[in-house]
């Protein structure tokens, strides 16, 4: 009961801290004042502190859905905090924090659905089959970060492109990065994520035969959704470098890729070792 209560408090503290930071950032855009920014950064830092403390104390395994989602949320929270400091005049956190908050909430739901989970033991995962399972998890996590950043850049690109088509005056809307910088961010995220995803899939393929049922493993939702994500990436790269389609269409494909990523993350791992399912 005590452990469950601690887990609840941590998830709620993390989520509420990020929510307060988001609301303060939104308020800063509506009523510009220095105090909004300082308070928003303070709540963002508090959320990151609680998030980091939870990861260090609870050691959620990246092989279980709730752990992989929470780890991804932590990386994106760092990305949000850095962007808020680095791009002080842009609406950075307003776009990134809702994704972080959604991932934290999704992690809590997944933890409730599967309360029996294995903690991450670095010493145990550094040897034998668990080592390659850990390598697979890290590669997929890094690819997930790239997909998420690509998704965020794509959403901002689509909004900014729509503003330009409607000739909306810049001073009347939320400030954002220009289309060229957003397109560059999307391209770099995709170029970095694809090799990570490919390597993660190759390592995962080597691990599949060690599972209890080969046919069930290959047809599992996690394997199929991850393979589908890789195919979407392949199409994205072909469209970008092969036929040079418009950036707007690539942005839409990036949104599809992020949807497949969420399916892959929340699906049960058919060949996870170390007690995680």
Q: Which of 129-133, 136-140, 235-239, 269-273 has the lowest mean pLDDT?
A: 269-273
Q: What is the pLDDT of residue 117?
A: 54
Q: What is the pLDDT of residue 103?
A: 92
State pLDDT tens for residues 170-227: 555 567 778 888 888 888 998 888 999 888 888 877 766 554 554 455 566 677 778 8
Cα 77 to Cα 93, 157, 187, 216, distances in angstroms = 9, 20, 21, 35
How confident is the model over 102-121, as a mean pLDDT? 73
State pLDDT tens for residues 30-67: 776 667 778 888 999 999 999 998 888 887 877 778 88
pTM for this predicted structure: 0.80
pLDDT above 90 (res 77): yes
SS3 readout for the chain: CHHHHHHHHHHHHHHHHHHHHHHHHHHHHHCCCHHHHHHHHHHHHHHHHHHHHHHHHHCECCCCHHHHHHHHHHHHHHHHHHHHHHCCCCCCHHHHHHHHHHHHHHHHHHHHHCCCCCECCHHHHCCHHHHHHHHHHHHHHHHHHHHHHHHHHHHHHHHHHHHHHHCCCHHHCCCCCCHHHHHHHHHHHHHHHHHHHHHHHHHHHHHHHHCCCHHHHHCCHHHHHHHHHHHHHHHHHHHHHCCCCCHHHHHHHHHHHHHHHHHHHHCCCCCCCCCCC
| Average per-residue pLDDT for the chain | 78
Question: Which tokens go with 120?
Answer: 């991450």
How confident is the model over 88-114, as a mean pLDDT? 85
């Amino acid at each position: 009961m005590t452990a469950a209560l601690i887990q609840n408090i941590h998830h709620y503290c993390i989520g509420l801290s990020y929510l307060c930071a988001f609301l303060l950032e939104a308020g800063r855009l509506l009523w510009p004042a220095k105090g909004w920014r300082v308070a928003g950064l303070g709540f963002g830092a508090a959320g990151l502190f609680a998030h980091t403390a939870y990861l260090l104390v609870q050691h959620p395994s990246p092989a279980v859905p709730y752990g992989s989602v929470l780890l991804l949320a932590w990386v994106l929270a760092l990305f949000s905090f850095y962007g808020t400091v680095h791009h002080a005049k842009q609406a950075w956190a307003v776009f990134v924090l809702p994704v972080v908050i959604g991932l934290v909430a999704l992690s809590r739901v997944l933890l409730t659905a599967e309360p029996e989970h294995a903690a991450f033991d670095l010493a145990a995962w550094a040897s034998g089959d668990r080592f390659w399972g850990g390598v697979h998890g890290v590669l997929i996590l890094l690819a997930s970060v790239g997909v998420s950043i690509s998704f965020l850049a794509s959403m901002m690109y689509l909004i900014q492109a729509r503003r330009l088509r409607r000739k909306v005056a810049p001073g009347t809307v939320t400030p954002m990065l220009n289309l060229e910088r957003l397109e560059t961010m999307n391209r770099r995220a995709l170029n970095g994520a694809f090799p990570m995803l490919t390597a993660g899939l190759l390592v995962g393929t080597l691990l599949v035969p060690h599972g209890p049922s080969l046919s069930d493993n290959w047809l599992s939702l996690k394997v199929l959704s991850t393979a589908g994500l890789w195919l979407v990436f392949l199409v994205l790269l072909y469209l970008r470098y092969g036929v040079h389609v418009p950036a707007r269409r690539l942005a839409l494909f990036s949104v599809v890729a992020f949807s497949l990523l969420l399916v892959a993350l929340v699906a049960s791992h058919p060949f996870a070792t170390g007690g995680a399912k």
